[in-house]
Amino acid sequence: MITPINMTATINNKSATNKIKSLRKEKHSQGLPFMINSDELPSHQCYLEYPDGTIKIAEANSKDSDFRIIEELDFLNAEYIKRKLKLI
């Protein structure tokens, strides 16, 4: 049985997940990439998921507020990341 505390945590997690998915959809509808932070990457790196489904590993550029692309993931790795993070 789920205790009230666990049930609240479950509801809050679902609410947060729905908000994240909504923001992702909004960014993509504007033609913008969606930034995904991951513990699997160094702290200064992130994934950028583009509206066409591609994912690139990027790092923050300290000279301006842009990113420097390090690598573009192939289709299978991009799908793996999206499934692992429950984005699809």
pLDDT, tens only, 2-40: 334 443 444 467 788 888 889 999 999 999 999 999 999
pLDDT, tens only, 44-84: 899 999 999 999 999 987 777 788 999 999 999 999 999 99
d(CA 11, CA 44): 31
d(CA 61, CA 59): 6
What pLDDT was estimated at residue 1?
36
- Overall pTM surpassing 0.85 (yes/no): no
